[in-house]
Structure 1
Amino acid sequence: ATAGGVVQSGENMLESARREAEEELGIAGVPFADHGLFYYQQADCRVWGGLFSCVSHGPFALQEEEVESVCWMTPQEIAAQCDSFTPDSIHALSLWMARNSEGEAPALCTRCSEVDASQPPLVSTPRPAEREAGDDADPVGSEQA
């Protein structure tokens, strides 16, 4: 998986991304780029997410309760190990690649839904009334690409 979590009451997605990066990885005081919002759904989960990235040269401080290990991977390495990642994380990374590539971004994982590289970033989040009880907004976007 990638760094991420649930937006807390009173937070927006960017604030949540910053908080999660600091809590899980010790990343603080760096600018975050906003890559838009997205919706991801499978039979057993729904994610209304925000997608963000940042650059940090450390030092890193891993949250032992939530982070087992950290390694830097290329998109090709992730594709080769896509079953090790949550489907919404693969979807978020695919969107980031599509939105930030000059050409057509390759699909990362055949088990995940295809990403349309021409898809524009979502500009609004679903209204709370559209969310079912118990659905959590997971800002996969607080996941750094």
Structure 2
Amino acid sequence: MDAMSAPGTSQPLNADELLDIVDAQDRVVGQASRGEATARRLRHRCVFVLARDADDRIFVHRRTPEKLVFPSLYDMFVGGVVGAGESYDDAARREAEEELGVHGLSPAPLFRFLYESAEHTWWSAVYEARTPAAVEPQAEEVAWHSFLTEAELADRLDAWPWVPDGLAAWQRLTLWRSAPGRA
């Protein structure tokens, strides 16, 4: 979830790229470079996209060891940071298409939550998208991938090392889906 491109381009952004810094209510209070936001634990915005194939299997991947945040860990979401002035929806589409190597996705927004740990804090928008099974994951982002059923994913939750923010998003998604009126 680290690599990012400028809205409407395929040019990679770097640690100097600007992010919106937000408060506890997700209101923009300033801007900072991505590197500064990470180093100083400045709250910013991220997107998480659960990508499912036509058989309802979930795209699961292991991040590359070169990743700035959570290297070599497994994730059940694709996504990344939201650039300064970029909407959550635009970031979700951009990140999912880049990481999966496909075009024409329409991620559906589900909910938002504030992720906080001792090292990181970001507002997180969770989406779901249908993707073709024939994906071409971005080599800079994805070291390994597969489509897993929910049961296969559940069997691996305690066995594989997962990114903590993705695991938090998965747990919240599970609760959100079980809420009355969501079935």
Regarding TM over 0.5, the answer is yes
RMSD value, Cα = 2.0
Residues 1:98 and 2:175 are matched in the alignment: yes
Counterpart in the other structure of 1:7: 82
Matches of 1:102 and 1:36, distance apart in 2 = 13
Normalised by the size of structure 1, how large is the TM-score? 0.62
Residues 1:52 and 2:52 are matched in the alignment: no
Residues 64-143 of structure 1 correspond to what in structure 2 (within 5 A)?
Answer: 64-82=139-157, 83-101=160-178
* Alpha-carbon offset, residue 13 of structure 1: 1.0
**Which structure is richer in relative contact order (CA contacts within 8 A, separation 6 or more)?**
1
Counterpart in the other structure of 2:59: none
* Alpha-carbon offset, residue 90 of structure 1: 0.7
* Alpha-carbon offset, residue 30 of structure 1: 2.8
* Alpha-carbon offset, residue 102 of structure 1: 5.8
Q: How many pairs does the alignment contain?
A: 103
Structure with greater helix share of residues:
1
Structure-2 change in CA distance of 1:44 and 1:102 (3 Å): closer
Matches of 2:134 and 2:152, distance apart in 1 = 24
- Larger CA Rg, structure 1 vs 2: 2
* Alpha-carbon offset, residue 74 of structure 1: 3.7
State the identity %. 32
Structure with greater strand share of residues:
2
* Alpha-carbon offset, residue 92 of structure 1: 0.6
* Alpha-carbon offset, residue 75 of structure 1: 4.1
> What amino acid maps onto 2:97 in structure 1?
E
Match of 1:63 among 120, 134, 138: 138
Say which SS state the counterpart of residue 108 (structure 2) adopts: strand
Normalised by the size of structure 2, how large is the TM-score? 0.50
The answer to whether the 8 Å contact 2:97/2:105 transfers is: no
